[in-house]
Amino acid sequence: MNQTTKPTAVIILPTYNEKNNIKKLIPALFDKVLPKVKNWRFKILVVDDNSPDGTADQVRKLQAKYQNLDLLTGQKQGLGKAYHKGMDWAVKTYQPDVLIQMDADLSHDPALIPQILDKLENGCDVVIGNRYIKGGAIPADWSLKRKFLSFCGNFVASLMLFNWSVRDWTSGYKAIKTAVFQDIKDEMNKKRFNGYTWQIALVNKAIQHNYKIGFVPLKFTDRRIGQSKLGSEYIFNTLFYLIIDVVKNPPRFYRFALIGFFGFLVNFFGLAFFSQLIKANWADLSVGVRNTIANSIAAELSIISNFILNNLWTFGDRKLIAAKDIIPQFVKFNLSSFATGILIPSLVIGLGTSIFGDQYRQLILVLVIVVFTVPANYFIYNKFIWKDKK
């Protein structure tokens, strides 16, 4: 941020029929909140989509009193589009350091702005007003349907993007450094993000570009005046976006799981193949010996395929290239595969069946693999085999 002069933040308020809300919000910002923040310069930009209630005229009236208030008008193309247009225009017009987006219906407490800017000054690139962290809240009187929608939206987003730290993907109260917007604005300029899908996509893209995300607790209050514009467009577009994104940029854990499943198939079909091969060539070996040998070969092949594919894909960003790195890590990989995939499950199965009975044998195997082997392997790969050197 500019050291000699004060940095500039633009607060972008998208409006559609918010005449009576904007009448209160803009004075609250200019008269109460912003004068307290001495080390920043502020502009407010209202992006109004020709609201039939005359929001734009209300803004023009306010402009007579507040010089740092601007108005951008246009056709209604959705919330995300309004943000994209507004941010683009603000960047060109003011060359600001920071862009703040907030709802214009008084749901977002303007008094959080100093805290949000504080986080940005202390190293965050994006700050989210978060309803689902300590100190945050959703309105107690929200309908069950609305609570369910918000909870599900966040859960599905967290699961599909495999990121449990954001928690409030859909919050509309956010601040981003201009550099972040410049970096992702072309990717955000898609029809899919014209509506409320904008919210999740912006956070996700910032994370994918390795920007640092910070949070400020937000107590969301429901609007008193006017009505919400959130509709079913949101659910459809958001799900569609999440599916496309998971396929395009599968999170590391999903890559790991897919490769693990492929390794299982190698073992499964390898066992059948080598069992037949040995039978055909060494007919005098007993069935037990034959299958023990066959499974050892098949299991080792699956370990090799897991190692190669995880190295190339799951941990492609930390790829081991030199033989001097590959060999010791491959040895460790074998040892840990033996411990987590064979030794410990075998001991647990032995112990479990001796306590609960043989009828639980297969169930115990599945449980051990899901509860222990998968997470343990993921942990070991991350911490010991393909350690993040940064």
Which pair of structure tokens corresponds to residue 55?
Answer: 């929001």
Dihedral sign of CA atoms 383, 387, 388, 390 in order:
positive
Give the Cβ contact number of residue 378 at 10 Å: 16
Nearest residue (CB) to ligand GDD, 161 versus 364: 161
Nearest residue (CB) to Mn ion, 223 versus 279: 223
Q: Which residue stretch of 104-112, 194-202, 264-272, 336-344 sits at the interface with Mn ion (rule: CB under 5 A)? A: 104-112
Which amino acid belongs to residue 346?
S
Answer yes or no whether residue 223 interacts with Mn ion by CB under 5 A: yes
14 binds, options Mn ion, ligand GDD, none, Cβ within 5 to 8 A by partner type: ligand GDD
Report the C-alpha gap between 341 and 339 in whole angstroms.
Answer: 6
Q: Nearest distance from residue 360's CB to ligand GDD, in Å?
A: 44
Give yes or no for a contact between 271 and 294, defined as CB atoms under 8 angstroms apart. Answer: yes
Which has the closest alpha carbon to 207: 243, 254, 158?
158
Which has the closest alpha carbon to 256: 154, 366, 162, 363?
162
Q: Nearest distance from residue 252's CB to ligand GDD, in Å?
A: 27
Binds ligand GDD by CB under 6 A, chosen from 9, 12, 15, 205 = 15
- At 95 the three-state DSSP class reads coil
What element of type H or E holds 175? strand 174-177
Answer yes or no whether residue 230 interacts with ligand GDD by CB under 6 A: yes
Q: Nearest distance from residue 23's CB to Mn ion, in Å?
A: 16
Binds Mn ion by CB under 5 A, chosen from 49, 97, 105, 125 = 105
Answer yes or no whether residue 18 interacts with Mn ion by CB under 5 A: no
Q: Which residue stretch of 62-70, 72-80, 115-123, 381-389 sits at the interface with ligand GDD (rule: CB under 6 A)? A: 72-80
Nearest residue (CB) to ligand GDD, 147 versus 387: 147
Report the C-alpha gap between 173 and 204 in whole angstroms.
Answer: 15
- Give the largest Cα separation in the chain, rounded: 99
Q: Which residue stretch of 18-26, 216-224, 260-268, 369-377 sits at the interface with Mn ion (rule: CB under 5 A)? A: 216-224
Q: Nearest distance from residue 83's CB to ligand GDD, in Å?
A: 8
Report the C-alpha gap between 116 and 124 in whole angstroms.
Answer: 10
Backbone angles phi, psi at 8, to 5 degrees: -110, 135
Answer yes or no whether residue 50 interacts with ligand GDD by CB under 6 A: no
Q: Nearest distance from residue 103's CB to Mn ion, in Å?
A: 5
Backbone angles phi, psi at 251, to 5 degrees: -60, 155
What does the per-residue mask of binding to ligand GDD show for 149-168, with x meaning CB under 6 A? -x------------------
Which has the closest alpha carbon to 197: 147, 242, 152?
242
Binds ligand GDD by CB under 6 A, chosen from 11, 16, 252, 314 = 16
Answer yes or no whether residue 49 interacts with ligand GDD by CB under 6 A: yes
Binds ligand GDD by CB under 6 A, chosen from 8, 58, 130, 170 = 170
> How many residues are given for the chain?
390
Direct distance between the N- and C-terminal alpha carbons of the chain, in angstroms, rounded to an integer: 25
Q: Do strands 41-48 and 8-15 pair parallel, antiparallel, or not at all (unpaired)?
A: parallel
Answer yes or no whether residue 107 interacts with ligand GDD by CB under 6 A: yes
Answer yes or no whether residue 79 interacts with ligand GDD by CB under 6 A: yes
| Residues of this chain that bind Mn ion (CB under 5 A) | 105, 107, 223
| Residues of this chain that bind ligand GDD (CB under 6 A) | 14-16, 18, 47-49, 76, 78-79, 82, 103-105, 107, 150, 170-172, 196, 199, 223, 228-230
